[in-house]
Structure 1
Amino acid sequence: METKNWFWLLFCCLGTLWTYRHFKNYFRAVGLALRLPGPKAIPLLGNVLLFLERKNNVLIECGIKASQLYGSLMRGWMFWVPVLVVYEPEHLRVILSNTKVSDKNFFYRIMHTFIGDGLVTSTGDKWRKHRKLIQPYFHINILESYFDDFLQISEEVLGAELHGRNGVKISRIVNDCINKILHKTILGVNLKRDSESPFRRGELLLLKRLLKPWLLVDFIFKRSKMSQMEAQQNEDLHLYVKKILDERRTLTKQAKVNNTCLLDRLIELLETSDFSEKAILDEAVTFMLAGQDSVGTAVASCLFYLAKHQDIQEKVFKEIIDVGADKRLTINQLNQMHYLEQCIKETMRLIPSIPLVSRVLTADVDLGYYTAPKGTNILISIFTAHRLPHIFPKPLEFDPDRFSPENLPNIHPYGFLPFSLGPRKCIGYKFAYIEMKTIISTVIKRFHLSPPPQREELDLSYRVTFRAKGGILLNITPRQK
């Protein structure tokens, strides 16, 4: 054989070995995806069009029926990338209970431009370090110290905005209330008008970017108008928090404030650890953004279900009276509202604020009859997990008694995960429960709710969080004292 031919043969062999070594797990993931059932995919685009708002009904319908249509595991395609959609509790336990088998994937890197590098988007040693440093500030004793702010703002906003009238867009009023609560408890700011803050004007462009695959290439994205828009939003948010941070640091040095908000506690880390100012800004922005739409969706949706189910609403009202909260609410009384908490959990079961969570496997993982290879992208469908009939009988019905003390043992430990589970469980979930219970009890104590005609069902739309198209409208009637 001629030398030239030997050269090309060697080149092809080396090229094949290099390709196999670098893409072995990708080809294994493709092979697994081809063996699994899933929704029909379009060549090159895969299933990404399901995330379009006009296609959301198909995405949501697929989520409801996924286990019946595709069994315990299904596949999807994000362009040419195979994605495993996981929702069975035992599979979720394997993936979420151990940080050694999974990590956050490229979806979270896409959010860096807008949110920054806080707990939601960070990974590895940085995430572990920040989580360890911040975790003590979410101890229940500290969280309960924010209760007076929760209550005061809820009474002020809801008392001013809710009156005896029909067709009130409760979702807007709830979001206004939560925005003010977060400004007070996270940043220490008494927000008078939403226009004073950039946190209600930002827009996460993740889905829009996913629908344009060329924008997934950073080199191209950084030269797009979308990138400029996100960068400007990021700058506005961080400059806003930076100004507040500088003011709080000055007040702290003058002993004029003493840990009245989360930002004050993060300032302590500047003196006691190597926590940087940039880290504080990233984390503060993350907490402000993560706590808005997710909690707003849960509160507004819970009020909708209470309006729709009059008997359940009256049980919540009776509980408020029975614990003695007919006058000014206290934190001890709030902690006794167990049935209200069941209603909130059942709401988040039916409408989890964050219905999809993504991960990438960092090791081979056995999922029942299949082995998912290292490097496989995982889409955890919380929405589907919460509607599995063998975990939640009659899953489409609103039944708070599912979460009663007697029935809780029937729920798989990884069957209910509105705040995720495992080491990466949302650090602020207790904060959220206290906040939600305060707002909802404030409303139900003062007002009777009912749905307007032709608005007895929610038309959901997926935009990273769930939202009701057109908002949630309710009829409001003041209760007689």
Structure 2
Amino acid sequence: MLYILLIIVLSLVFLHLYVTYNKDARLLMKVPGRKNKFLIGNALEIFVPPEKLIDMRSGYAKQFNGIYRFYSYPFKFVCIYNPQDIEIILSGMKFSEKSFLYNFIKPWLAEGLLLSKGAKWQKRRKILTPAFHFDILRQFHVTMEENSKQLTETLENVPEKADIVPIMTNYTLNTICETAMGTKLSDETSAAGMSYKNAILTLGNIFAQRFIKVYLFVDFIYNLTSLKSLQKKYVDIVQAFTANVIENRKKNLDQQINIKNNKTEEDDIYNKKKKAAFLDLLLAAENNGQIDRAGVQEEVDTFMFEGHDTTSAGLSFLALMLANHQDAQQKVYEEMQSIFGDSTRVATTDDLAQMKYLELCIKESLRLYPPVHFIARALNESVKLSNYTIPAGTNCLIQIFDLHRREDLFKNANDFIPERFLPENSVGRHPYSYVPFSAGPRNCIGQKFAMMEMKSAMSAVIRRYRLEAITKPEDVRFAGDLILRSIDPIYMKIIKRN
């Protein structure tokens, strides 16, 4: 018995020596980080409630200087939040492959543009880029303004203490469906839309649960848990909704083709002016054999999620900032008055271009509350970051939230100061110090769409209402989710202007 115990102890010691002092580990251990525990490394460091994840990460950002590591054999991570290192990772295609962490959402998003790599990513990006050309966005603007008007009418009937988050989520889901997907939500599909939104929230929580438990990184172990079956249930709900969106648009296009075949030449000229939806490009590519239906589904799943959830979060936090900073809100209102006067007409794209101060507010809100608050890349070769050699096979987490709150990059970094984005105040700022839409070749393809949508919505709201804070920024608790979102409602008063 004593011999068996001795063998076990020696085996554990040798195992610890191997996992701690192998070649890659020795390199990684030179990077600052928390003290390793016997055998398990840093695994217990992230074993915290999901709502504590971002606070924990921000604590590390204050403790270390732009870089720190996380190691629990065989999982190697380096976390960076300084612009020089971020430029190395994002500026080219060398480190364009996503971290294995994104495999956690692969049953949902498959190999859409967010998760795909190499030739497949390049081919899909080429197919989809025309959907976000400015001329196409101009065509979508009318629909955006119609939805913004509907948003203001919704706010007419909210209670005195209103949670702005579900209101903005409804707005962005309706907008992405009617513009990029070319499908209007009916009363029937609105109910399905509610299930879709709730399913996405649940999937985000499942992701957080898996992220904080290192042993769940292993698919075999994860597949034995109740989280796996719960994930399947909600993935099915999400994909049923998007499959219905695809089918409705395909039927609509088929009807248009049948009508077109019976039209005159004059009618054909008019028909050429119709909107070219994002989904239309995918269906056309399917007809041409460039993509199959599974490919259409994964791209629609990706853009339905990213196109409404990130913008909803951005608008909710923008509303929070304007409600808590009446001086900035007043400047936005005065800007609206200078553009529209007392007119109730809808905004044009030229009007949106004149909303310079509102744009500053959006940029500053995205700095403080970037909806995509981290990016994770796989380092397929060794690389020098902050003068440390990071071994190949390490996962690099780019902490956008902490980057944007660095005091050496943004003075009074935790304060809402839109003027910091005036051209004269941006001179000398490192181009990778502000990356709310990522940067480099894999930057967000829909960033112009998102900015137009945020301007359209918030300008319509501020023209008609004054936002008065109930929830304060210090009250917000962040979910440990793919998207930066508040766990609790964001309450405010919506006061109609005289």
1:390-430 CA distances to partner (integer Å, 9 max, x unpaired)?
Answer: 21111111111111121222321101001111111011111
The aligned amino acid for 2:226 is K
Show the counterpart of 1:75. Answer: 69
In structure 1, C-alpha distance between the alignment counterparts of 2:486 and 2:162, rounded to whole Å = 14
For the residue of structure 2 that corresponds to 1:389, the secondary structure is coil
Aligned-pair distance for 1:121?
1.4
Q: 1:341 aligns with which of 352, 359, 380?
A: 359
Runs (5+) with no aligned partner, structure 1: 1-22
Q: Which deviates more from structure 2 when the two are superposed, residues 226-235 or residues 370-379?
A: 226-235
After TM superposition, list the pairs within 5 Å mapping 1:162-311 onto structure 2. Answer: 162-163=156-157, 166-193=160-187, 194-197=190-193, 198-202=195-199, 203-204=202-203, 205-255=206-256, 258-311=274-327
Q: In structure 2, what residue type is equivalent to 1:322?
A: S
**Matches for 1:12-23 after TM superposition, within 5 Å:** none
Shift, 1:225, TM fit: 3.2
Checking the alignment, whether the CA contact within 8 Å between 2:108 and 2:239 is kept in structure 1 is no
User: d(CA) in 1 for partners of 2:54 and 2:217?
Assistant: 25
Distance in 2 of aligned mates of 1:242 and 1:189: 12
- Residue 304 of structure 1 deviates from its aligned partner by 1.1
CA deviation string 1:313-365 (max 9, x = no partner): 11111111212274321111011111111101101111111211111112221
Q: Which residue of 2 aligns with 1:321?
A: 337
SS across alignment from 1:460? coil
Q: Does 1:460 align with 2:477?
A: yes
Letter in 2 for 1:98: G
Give the alignment of 1:15-34 within 5 angstroms. 27-34=22-29
1:109 and 2:126 equivalent?
A: no
Structure 2: gaps (5+ residues): 1-17, 260-270
* Distance across 1 between alignment mates of 2:487 and 2:156: 21
Residue 142 (structure 1) aligned with residue 136 (structure 2): yes
Q: 1:409 is matched with which residue: 407, 421, 427? A: 427
1:36 is matched with 31
**Equivalent position amino acid for 1:268 in 2:** A
User: Do the aligned residues in 1 keep the contact of 2:95 with 2:377 (CA within 8 Å)?
Assistant: no
C-alpha RMSD of the superposition: 2.5
Residue aligning to 2:9: none
* Equivalent of 1:330 in 345, 348, 352: 348
CA deviation vs aligned residue, 1:166-193 (integer Å, no higher than 9, x gap): 3211112111111111221233222245
Contact 2:28 2:391 in 1 (8 A): no
Distance 1:89 1:162 in 2: 43
Distance 1:41 1:185, change over 3 A: farther
Is the Cα–Cα contact under 8 Å of residues 46 and 53 in structure 2 kept in the other structure? Answer: no
Residue in 2 that maps onto 1:447: 465
Identity across the alignment (%): 29
Which residue of structure 2 lines up, in the alignment, with residue 423 of structure 1?
441
Shift of the 51–125 alpha-carbon distance from structure 1 to 2, 3 Å rule, reads: farther
Name the CA distance, whole Å, in 2 between partners of 1:466 and 1:445.
Answer: 27
Letter in 1 for 2:243: K
Name the aligned partner's letter for residue 206 of structure 1. Answer: F
Name the SS of the counterpart of 1:466 in structure 2: coil
Kept after mapping to 2: 8 A contact 1:25/1:375: no
CA distance in 1, matches of 2:158, 2:55: 37
Deviations along 1:184-207, whole A, 9 cap, x unmatched? 123322224542224212122222
Structure 1 residues 95-104 or 50-59, which shifts more? 50-59
How far, CA to CA, are the matches of 1:370 and 1:358 in structure 2? 19
For 2:28, give the aligned amino acid. Answer: A
Deviation per residue, 1:427-470 (Å, 9 max, x gap)? 11111101111111111110011112x74634231322222232
Q: Distance in 1 between matches of 2:384 and 2:295?
A: 36
Instruction: Give 1:396's aligned residue.
Output: 414
**Equivalent pairs, count:** 454
Greater shift in the superposed pair: 389-398 or 247-256: 247-256
Q: Distance in 2 between matches of 1:171 and 1:40?
A: 39
Q: Residues 128-166 of structure 1, C-alpha deviation per residue, up to 9 Å, x if partnerless?
A: 111111111111111221111111112113312345853
The answer to whether the 8 Å contact 1:389/1:395 transfers is yes
Return the alpha-carbon distance in structure 2 between the equivalents of residues 79 and 418 of structure 1: 31
In 2, Cα distance between the equivalents of 1:283 and 1:25?
Answer: 41
| d(CA) in 1 for partners of 2:44, 2:362 | 32
SS at match of 1:85: strand
Residues 361 and 376 of structure 1 are in contact (CA less than 8 Å); yes or no, is this contact kept in structure 2?
A: yes
* Mapped contact 1:352–1:382 kept (Cα < 8 A): yes
Partner of 1:8: none
Residue of structure 2 equivalent to 1:476: 494
